[in-house]
Amino acid sequence: MPENIIKLHENRLDKKNYHKLMAIDNPHLHQFVAEYIELCNPDKVFISTDSEEDIRYIKETAIRNGEEMKLAIEGHSVHFDGYYDQARDKGHTKFLVPKGVDLGPNLNTIDKHEGLQEIHEIMKDIMKGHELYIRFFCLGPTNSEFSIPCVELTDSAYVAHSEDLLYRNGYEEFKRQGRSAQFFKFVHSAGELDERKVSRNIDKRRIYIDFEDAVVYSVNTQYGGNTIGLKKLAMRLAIHRAAKEGWLTEHMLLMGVHGPDKRTTYFTGAFPSLCGKTSTAMIPHETIVGDDIAYIRKRGDKAYAVNVESGVFGIIMGVNSKDDPIIWNALNSPNEIIFSNVLIKEDKGVYWIGKDGDVPKKGKNHSGEWVPGKKDTEGNEVTPSHKNARFTIKLSSLKSVDFKMNDPNGVEIGGMIYGGRDSDTWVPVEEAFDWTHGIITKGASLESETTAATLGKEGVRQFNPMSNLDFLSVPIGRYVDMNLKFGSSMEKPPKIFGVNYFLKDRNGNFMNERVDKGVWLKWMELRVYNEIDALKTPTGYIPMYDDLRKIFKELLNKIYSREDYIKQFTIKVPESLSKIERIKKIYETTVTDTPPVLFKILEEEKRRLNEAGEKYGDYITPDRWEK
Ligand code: SPV
Ligand code: MN
């Protein structure tokens, strides 16, 4: 290792921290760390091992420096992000693209040289007056073909603490892998803080991703989705790596659905943010492996998946004791939890939109002191908690955690689910004809109405292939092709399903209750083994009424009427055709490398819909398909 790097570490780190860093035999790591200590210029550097003592130090520092505040229940704390720093900033999240590389027109990019220059300028001395925390983690279970070691440099104890709840420790893994570690690197600074301890220079908020060197930079922001490097930032690096190596990185939950005779069938599920992914993964009666990101690999003729994370950064809005009893119990017990952007009451309890009980008369939230009716400077009403307010918790705090959650082999996947926020087109659950049909008409055709998880207007229908658009680091066509290839080389790939929890009637009311998704899961589980029959429609296989009635009764003790079934499972020919046209147009015009089979499959679907429409009319009730 060059002398100057050793010297720098000797100068900048105290003895104890120096030894902790040097215990990892990886000159590339030492050099990287040295570079950013020099550039960001923190007052102090803390190297965290996997020891309880080091982890406790970070946790306590977050409280001591005011980034988190203790709450009434043991282990609970709260963190606030700035009023305008409440969601992922898509506009300022960009890929640093080397000359000659083209990611297509849908991804946000900046020339690598120019971007690095800009971000390095912003980072100069940015940690002055701050302590830098350096942490090591492992994405995926340790000691597994899925493992990816990561190092995070951050001057936010809140970010470092969050990562402790969300990821598996990796200091020992770094020591084990030594010089052979192919690791991801993250540098984050919250930048200058104001008196409320929130990032002051939001205008200089930047999140730049260098997939070539596997580095992500994030500055002048605190919101987890912009700063927790191992989450969506690492995901972009992993998609790039997966594309090169022939596996998949997906924005997917991973869960065990429990079938007859103690059978467990594992499903992945892709849903855009705020569309029911976490609450599906934590549904009563089933077990959770993960709620957000999955790595999927083929072994023999089977597909296996792991949860990249070991905790949940989940949306809290709407969590209540009836619909989400598992999350509810965890959130009301003495666990280690960070609440972000909720309302703190005088008694140091918390409130969020949709929680059981009355809205408090006052409290403190991301806008400061809060009372009902409060308006912000633009005249918009300030809700008690932000719609994108979150809870951060270890999966091991949930009673439904699946026993294979840390299995280095992953779990074998039986089915893959795609679902978006769709008020008028898809039926509540439908099985694709086969892998190619599923990837194209369910995954690659996914659309969803926008939500508060990203900055900008809500309720606008947007194209979001595999719910992964925000995180893609390869051109869309190539990504769709990777998905097609993954399953088409398998004799019996996982089955693919489309679900829609958000179907509305003519009056704009939801047609289903939130708990109904449990029924769709049980139906899909049985379909993986073809244990029940289904009706063939132009868009896929839909359930038979008697099967659903039985599952509704057994699972929810609910009478499911034929009338409801008919309304929910009516195939809407005009809406389905418009959707195909919208999707086709996107793949024809804005995607530059669409695999030709996509157009063929969409044309076939269009022909089936037209033929059925001529025969049965625009709105085709399920009894038409009955044999
Ligand atoms: C999402 O928005 O999809 C999340 C949270 O899971 S974030 O980390 O913001 O991506
Ligand atoms: Mn997500």
Q: What is the pLDDT of residues 174-231, one digit of tens each?
A: 999 999 999 999 999 999 999 999 999 999 999 999 999 999 999 999 999 999 999 9
Residue type, 364: K
pLDDT above 70 for 627? no
Three-state SS string across 236-272, please?
Answer: HHHHHHHHHHCCEEECEEEEEEECHHHCEEEEEEECC
Q: Is residue 476 scored above 80 in pLDDT?
A: yes
Tell me which residue of 392, 427, 424, 440 sits closest to 544, measured CA to CA.
427
Which atom of ligand 1 is closest in space to residue 273's alpha carbon?
3
User: Cα–Cα distances in Å, from 166 out to 226, 230, 248, 308?
Assistant: 15, 9, 21, 9
- What's the CA-to-centroid distance between 313 and ligand 1, angstroms? 8
pLDDT band at 512 (very low <50, low <70, confident <90, very high): very high
Residue 456's pLDDT is 79
Alpha-carbon span 369 to 130, nearest angstrom? 27
Q: Which H or E run contains 152?
A: strand 148-154
Q: What is the pLDDT of residue 450?
A: 82
SS3 at position 431:
strand
pLDDT in tens, 553-580: 999 999 999 999 999 999 999 999 999 9
Greater pLDDT, 102 or 339: 339
Reply yes or no on whether the pLDDT at 2 is more than 90: no
* Portion of the chain with pLDDT greater than 90, in percent: 94
- Give the ligand at the shortest distance from the Cα of 232: 1
Ligand 1: residue whose CA is nearest its atom 8: 225
Q: By C-alpha distance, which of 171, 182, 144, 159 is closest to 62? A: 159
Q: Which atom of ligand 1 is nearest to the CA of 454?
A: 2
Atom of ligand 1 nearest to the CA of 231: 8
Nearest to 369 by CA among 379, 360, 378: 360
Give tens-digit pLDDT for 419-454. Answer: 999 999 999 999 999 999 999 999 999 999 887 777
pLDDT above 90: residue 158:
yes
DSSP letter for 547, please.
Answer: H
If you measure from the C-alpha of residue 343 to the centroid of ligand 1, how many angstroms do you get, rounded to a whole number?
Answer: 20
Give mean pLDDT, residues 388-414: 97
Q: Please tell me which residue in 40, 138, 150, 275 is annotated as part of the active site.
A: 275
d(CA 125, CA 123): 6
What ligand is nearest to the CA atom of residue 88?
1
Length of the chain: 627
Who lines ligand 1 at CB under 6 A? 88, 224-225, 231-232, 273, 292, 313, 453
Return the beta strands (E) in 316-431 as ranges: 337-340, 343-344, 350-351, 363-365, 368-370, 390-394, 411-419, 429-431
Task: Quick: pLDDT tens for 306-324.
Answer: 999 999 999 999 999 998 9
Helix or strand (DSSP H, E) at 55: helix 52-64
Please give the Cα distance from 129 to 436 (Å, whole number): 55
Would you place residue 273 in the very low, low, confident or very high pLDDT band (cuts 50, 70, 90)? confident
**Mean pLDDT to the nearest integer, 164-173:** 97
The DSSP element (H or E) to which 235 belongs, if any, is helix 234-245
pLDDT digits (tens, 9 = 90+) for 114-133: 999 999 999 999 999 999 99
Q: Pick from 181, 124, 112, 121: which is nearest to 151 by CA?
A: 181
Pocket test for ligand 1, best of 90, 158, 232 (most atoms within 8 A of CB): 232
Centroid of chain to Cα 135: 21
Q: What is the mean pLDDT of residues 392-405?
A: 96
Q: What is the pLDDT of residue 1?
A: 65
Q: Name the burial class of residue 260, with classes exposed (0-12), middle (13-18) and buried (19+) by CB atoms within 10 angstroms of its CB.
A: exposed
Q: Residue of the nearest CA to atom 3 in ligand 1?
A: 273
Pairing of strands 411-419, 264-270: parallel
pLDDT at 458: 77
pLDDT digits (tens, 9 = 90+) for 51-74: 999 999 999 999 999 999 999 999
From 79, 88, 159, give the residue whose CB has the most ligand 1 atoms within 8 Å, as the site to mutate. 88
| Full 3-state SS string of 439-484 | HHHHHCCCEEECCCCECCCCCCEEECHHHCHHHCCCCHHHHHHHHH
How many angstroms does the Cα of residue 506 sit away from the middle of ligand 2?
A: 30
Nearest CA to ligand 1 atom 7: 225
* For the CA of 89, the nearest ligand: 1
- pLDDT bin (cut points 50, 70, 90) of residue 394 is very high
Most trustworthy range by pLDDT among 1-15, 101-115, 428-442, 457-471: 428-442
For residue 152, the CA-to-ligand 2 centroid distance in Å is 20
Residue closest via CA to ligand 1's atom 2 equals: 273
Rounded Cα gap, residues 194 and 45, in angstroms:
22
Give catalytic status of residue 138 as yes or no. Answer: no
Q: How confident is the model at residue 457 (pLDDT cuts 50, 70, 90)?
A: confident
What residues contact 535, with CB distance under 8 A and at least 6 apart? 541, 542, 543, 544, 622, 625, 626, 627
Residues with CB under 5 A from ligand 2 (ion): 292
Report the pLDDT averaged over residues 101-110. 92
User: Which residue lies with its CA nearest to atom 4 of ligand 1?
Assistant: 273
Q: What domains are there in the chain, each with its CATH number?
A: 3-66+91-246 (3.40.449.10), 249-310+403-624 (3.90.228.20), 313-397 (2.170.8.10)
The answer to whether the beta carbons of residues 309 and 231 sit under 8 Å apart is: yes
Q: How many CB atoms lie within 10 A of CB 217?
A: 26
| Nearest residue (CA) to ligand 1, atom 1 | 273
> What 3-state class would DSSP assign to 290?
strand
Q: What number does the ligand 1 atom closest to the CA of 251 have?
A: 3
Rounded to whole angstroms, how far apart are CA atoms 22 and 29?
Answer: 10
DSSP string, 387-407: TT-EEEEEGGGSTTB-TTTT-
- The yes-or-no verdict on residue 97 having pLDDT over 90 is yes
Atom of ligand 1 nearest to the CA of 228: 8
Write down the mean pLDDT value for the chain. Answer: 96
